[in-house]
Structure 1
Amino acid sequence: MYSFESMCHEKGFSCIAGVDEAGRGPLAGPVVSAAVILRTDYDLPGLNDSKKLSESRRKDLFARIPSQCLAIGIGIVSELRIDEINILRASLESMVLAVNNLSVSPDFLLIDGKFTLELPLGQQAIVGGDGKSASIAAASVVAKVTRDEIMKELDKEYPGYGLARHKGYPTRSHKDAIARMGVLPVHRRSFRGVSEFVR
């Protein structure tokens, strides 16, 4: 899981950040990205793509990651901004925010997906990177757990939609709730499943 980072070190880079996002597919809530600079001697048994981990395992890793890294940055882009610029651009914007919010400046980025970022840094996009790079995997865990906690808070504010359960994804129960009770301020109004119910 550290082979990409090792190759970067061999090329002379010393401070490598992994970057990933959570929440491109949901109908509600923000998209959240994280950037993580792991220590070279990190100890995170079982670290993997957050989607392949149980919720309890993600939470355990989330609690351990701060002590195993040099810095963590978080970037959050709202549903309003998503509707304004589209989800792809919003995801990339959240990644840039995450990198800019690092307390330690990286000299190279490993980014999950097909796209690099508009930042003056060396970088490599890796499709499926959250299962191939330890730094990206750590970022995926941080982004996922951070977003899940946001959705749990939104569930308290907007009961009856099941946001804490499905985290805003387009499940049958979520779509039924939108049809029955209407569109919330935190719904992405440009998304199918929401747009047809906007009045």
Structure 2
Amino acid sequence: MTRRRRRFACPCVAGVDEVGRGPLAGPVVAAAVILPPKGLPRGLTDSKALTESERERLDAKVRARALAWALGEASVAEIDAMNILQASLLAMRRAVAALTLTPFAAWVDGNHAPGLAMPVRAVVGGDGAVPAISAASIVAKVARDRQMVALDAAYPGYGFARHKGYGTAGHRRALERLGVTEIHRRSFAPVARLAEARQTVFDYTLR
């Protein structure tokens, strides 16, 4: 661990990150993690730089060793109502509010931070540089991926277990073939265009 990373490993600071801003379907999920000053899991980094098995292993270690951790999310309806940025900030606020310990400060990945009843610092690239934010990135990613696997069983044919709701070619083909579901973000352009096109065809057939 570098000196910079050790300086950030303060037990009174919560690392906060969200996962799922880009997908066409599913909620946005955030995590808040307060790590101990010693005994950090080895290999903490941005969840996107890890394999699925590495994330699963580190997720279990973070949950076991953290002084506190919590999840928060914003639903598809909330995303469509307030936009993805505001929904992401809402999910972060919910994650911090759910912590069983109250941190004196929160360090958030990115250049936007939620309003909290404590000092907040936005750290660009924090998910790869600040251990507590890295831990939050991993916990949020694993939790959201598990949700999407469960939704795959509820909405067969879309491939949610594979692409986790992101706009892959396979997902877009499934959307065109099967249509838009209640867990798709209708405020996102690809989904909105398809929903409008299908409604236009439906209206025409009723004439």
* TM-score, normalising length: structure 2: 0.90
The whole-number CA distance in structure 1 between the counterparts of 2:191 and 2:47 is: 27
Q: Could you tell me which residue of structure 2 aligns to residue 174 of structure 1? A: 171
The whole-number CA distance in structure 1 between the counterparts of 2:134 and 2:7 is: 15
The whole-number CA distance in structure 2 between the counterparts of 1:67 and 1:7 is: 20
SS, match of residue 109 in structure 1: strand
Cα deviation, 1:135-164, whole Å, max 9, x if unaligned, reads 000000000000000000000000000000
Deviation at 1:43, TM superposition (A): 2.8
Cα deviation, 1:76-132, whole Å, max 9, x if unaligned, reads 111111000000000000000000000100101110010122112112100111001
Q: Could you tell me which residue of structure 2 aligns to residue 146 of structure 1? A: 143
Give 1 or 2 for the bigger CA radius of gyration: 2
Query: CA 1:149–1:28 in structure 2 vs 1: closer, same or farther (change >3 Å)?
Result: same
The whole-number CA distance in structure 2 between the counterparts of 1:77 and 1:168 is: 15
The whole-number CA distance in structure 2 between the counterparts of 1:161 and 1:8 is: 41
Question: For residues 123-162 of structure 1, what are the structure 2 equivalents within 5 Å?
Answer: 123-162=120-159
1:74 to 60, 71, 74: 71
Query: CA 1:179–1:7 in structure 2 vs 1: closer, same or farther (change >3 Å)?
Result: closer
* TM-score, normalising length: structure 1: 0.94
Q: What is the letter of the counterpart of residue 84 of structure 1?
A: A
Question: For residues 15-54 of structure 1, what are the structure 2 equivalents within 5 Å?
Answer: 15-54=12-51
The whole-number CA distance in structure 2 between the counterparts of 1:57 and 1:161 is: 26
Aligned residues of 2:45 and 2:134 also touching (Cα < 8 A): yes
Greater helix proportion: 2
RMSD: 1.5
1:101 to 91, 98, 116: 98
Query: CA 1:155–1:8 in structure 2 vs 1: closer, same or farther (change >3 Å)?
Result: closer
Aligned residues of 2:9 and 2:131 also touching (Cα < 8 A): no
The whole-number CA distance in structure 2 between the counterparts of 1:123 and 1:143 is: 19
Q: Could you tell me which residue of structure 1 aligns to residue 194 of structure 2? A: 197
Query: CA 1:59–1:173 in structure 2 vs 1: closer, same or farther (change >3 Å)?
Result: same
Q: Could you tell me which residue of structure 1 aligns to residue 7 of structure 2? A: 6
Q: What is the letter of the counterpart of residue 44 of structure 2?
A: L
Aligned length: 195
Deviation at 1:7, TM superposition (A): 5.7
Cα deviation, 1:40-98, whole Å, max 9, x if unaligned, reads 11331111100000000000001111222110111011111100000000000000000
Moved over 6 A (4+): none
SS, match of residue 29 in structure 1: coil
The whole-number CA distance in structure 1 between the counterparts of 2:96 and 2:5 is: 18
The whole-number CA distance in structure 1 between the counterparts of 2:76 and 2:38 is: 38
